[in-house]
Amino acid sequence: MSPPTILIVEGNAVTRKQVHAALTAEGYAALEAPDGRTALELIARNPPDLVLQDLHLADVDGPDLVGQLRALPGGAEVPIIACSGFLSSVESARTLSLGFTDFLGKPVEPRRLLEIVRRYAGSPSTEPWPPRDCTVPIGRFRTTAQGRILDANPELLALLGCSAGTSLLGARANEFYFDIEDRRRLLDIAEREGRASGFEVRLRRRDGIVIWGCMNLRVLSQDGSVVYEGSVEDVTARRMTEQCMSAEHGVTRALAESSSLAEATPRLLEAVCTSLEWQVGELWRVDPTAGVLRRFDAWHVPSEALREFASVSRDMTFASGADMPGRVWATGEPVWVPDVGREPTFPRAALAVMNGLHRGFAFPIWPDGESLGVLAFFSDEIREPDEGLLRTMASIATQIGQSEKRWRAQTELERQRESLLRPARRVDR
């Protein structure tokens, strides 16, 4: 049985790709349309089970498009969800009278997205689509009750970053858990219920890279001894998609509820760090007079070591090309460092490693070609670059740049208003 097909009509390419990834990760089939014309062509060929429609497309007004979609053969029965970040509760209710079935706020929150999709399109078939044994490598293993590995298939070796010819026989399973408490929780569930299914956990590969795994485990008896038999699938891409959407949602809210960059920065840094598992987040601004970058604000998880890192960084400045922020400022391109300890040219490399930080990432904020600043983040994990994260940070940087332009325009309007009122006040006196 084929899974439900969802048509994503969305003008923002980043949002469109993120929603697509979230849906396909859950087993749905997803189609994309960047504009109204493409959406009409796709529905005319084969009506989907559900349409997620952006209200603000470049080529057609949202209410006009839903009317055209309804007029197509089979279009009257298709649920159409209005998607917008600018709907009040009254406006959201009004969309129902325009031909929409329901509404979904933006940035799209993964749980709310899946809730809406399941409500109107149903759930994917119980068998994953496509069949997992055909497309997704599944690592399989058996361990003793004490956690010694008895057997591991080649897919598990690859998933855990083991080199060709490596044997895990006799190795301790504990070494692959990022947090050993996760394994204890997994075993507790398996022992209490006989099996554990869909348990998601962070795993540390042999090369130090941290991934997310979805694990299944059952308890068996073999020759009078307890044996654990299980499987694990790499779900890092799906988790990253969910985390990116959550980060965008948090940043959008912080910017919308703030009246200046100074007010928004602590909240947006916290939103990015907590959603994407960064331990430290910084915003560096350009000082045009001195020709250097200065730290504007920072956020870090509660930690004495990270407090020291933040304190030392507070008074530092970076010339063009120096450290991660300076390199981004010089090139205008993002910089991803899997392990800052291997970057001896970075002034803060030793300080970062001393305080348990490894992965680094920095991204430019360049609204309309103006170098506004640089976002920089650090984590205690070693991780390879992720295209989804790069797209998300590009979107966040654009949001910050647009908000800064809006705040500047508001400040200028207030200045002009004050200059117009000043002569009138003098006359009144």
Which parts of 273-416 are beta strand (E)?
280-287, 292-300, 317-318, 335-337, 359-365, 373-379
Residue 22, token pair as written in the block: 């979230």
Q: What is the mean pLDDT of each run of 10 residues along the chain (429 residues)?
A: 86 83 83 90 88 87 85 86 69 69 82 86 56 64 93 92 85 93 93 87 90 91 87 88 85 90 95 93 94 96 91 93 92 89 84 89 84 91 78 87 87 83 63
What pLDDT, on the 0 to 100 scale, is given for residue 385? 74
Count the residues in the chain. Answer: 429
Q: What is the CATH topology of the domain spanning 5-121?
A: Rossmann fold (3.40.50)
Q: Where in the chain is the domain with CATH 3.30.450.20?
A: 136-234
With contact defined as beta carbons under 8 Å apart, do 324 and 362 qualify?
A: yes
pLDDT at 345: 78
Whether residue 302 has a cis bond before it, omega within 30° of 0: no
Quote the pTM value: 0.66
Q: CA–CA separation, 398 vs 375, rounded Å?
A: 12
* Per-residue pLDDT, 131: 38
Residue range(s) in the chain whose domain bears CATH number 3.30.450.40: 238-414
Contact 63, 81 (CB under 8 A): no
Please, where in the chain does CATH 3.40.50.2300 lie? 5-121
Fold of 136-234: Beta-Lactamase (3.30.450)
pLDDT of residue 318: 94
Instruction: Please report the pLDDT score of residue 279 as a whole number.
Output: 95
Looking at residue 325, what is its pLDDT? 93
CATH 3.30.450.40 fits 238-414, yes or no: yes
Q: How far is 70 from 79, CA to CA, in rounded Å?
A: 10
What are residue 196's DSSP bridge partners? 217
